[in-house]
Amino acid sequence: MAKGRSRALGLSALAVGALAFLSGCDAYDVGKPFGGFGWPDKTPTPQSQQMYEMWIWSVVAAFFVGFFVWGLIFWCIIVYRKRKGDTELPVQTRFNLPIEVLYSVLPFLVIAVLFYYTAVIQTNVNKLSPNPDVTVEVVAFKWEWQFNYKSAPDTDSSAATIATTTGASDYVPVLVVPTGKTIRIEETSKDVIHSFWVPDLLFKRDVFPGNVRNVFEVTIDEPGSYVGRCAELCGTYHSMMNFEVRAVSPEDYQKFLDAKKAGKTTPEALTAIGSDPYSTTTSPFNMKKDAQQVPVSTGN
């Protein structure tokens, strides 16, 4: 009996150890407790921080449920196993009302709590303010991006483009935004469905052609450079359709816009504010594109 119990306990310890080992295997830097359970190390926006906190508590709840279920399984294996010399079958229990109520009510409560916080956070992520601080029109096309800095949201008839950045086969477009400000992104596509994805912001929105405009807002609290990608299979060079989001101080952002309005290119305007003139998170790819697919550019 003691030998069998030792074996069961040894297998239990091995299973828990394997789980702990595998949970530490992720593609991100370990800057958060337990590596964030696979969550990206950076959460530079209020929205991403809320999603991170929900993820952590969801994982904690899952571990509690898992350990409870595993505990019951191993308890039954150890305590109620057939022993040497046993000739009678164990007592069979067909109905147990308290247990049936327990495993019906508890899952419902868990689902209800997860649904509530999911709805709250989703509402916060999709919330649009009446007067955003910055409005940028994102135009996707095969296989590049164009960023149009607007004087007002698209709902305002007086909105006008005050500066433009357009990507090319030898240039990764850099979207410059201010930190601590509400940034509205208005998306549209010139051809097929693309997807605007910045992994560090934990956010992705599809970009549709036609009159469908996907709109969202974000506030970036931490200055830095964040790689952006297309996350929707859109053709031959889909994997090379990259961009970069560069978050700078509000003062530098205004200097950048002034330089753009003065006729400088994006690299020149970035140099004017003491920032790297080109993308630091990804490099351009040498690809041949049909010139008819590219919108008329006003310069990088």
Tokens at residue 73, please?
Answer: 């399984």
Average pLDDT over residues 190-201: 91
Q: What is the pLDDT of residues 28-61, one digit of tens each?
A: 344 555 566 666 666 788 888 888 888 888 888 8
pLDDT at 131 over 80: yes
Q: Pick the most confident of 38-47, 197-206, 239-248.
A: 239-248
Sorted by where each begins, the domain ranges of the chain are 2-82+94-126, 134-293
Contacts 24+ apart (CB under 8 A), 190-195: 190/139, 190/140, 190/141, 190/142, 190/293, 190/295, 191/141, 191/142, 191/293, 192/142, 192/234, 192/235, 193/232, 193/234, 194/140, 194/230, 194/232, 194/234, 194/241, 195/230, 195/231, 195/232
The rounded mean pLDDT for the chain is 81
How would residue 156 be classed by pLDDT, with cut points 50, 70 and 90? Answer: low
What does CATH list as the number for 134-293? 2.60.40.420
pLDDT at 20 over 60: no
Q: Pick the most confident of 55-69, 123-137, 246-260.
A: 246-260
pLDDT at 173 over 70: yes
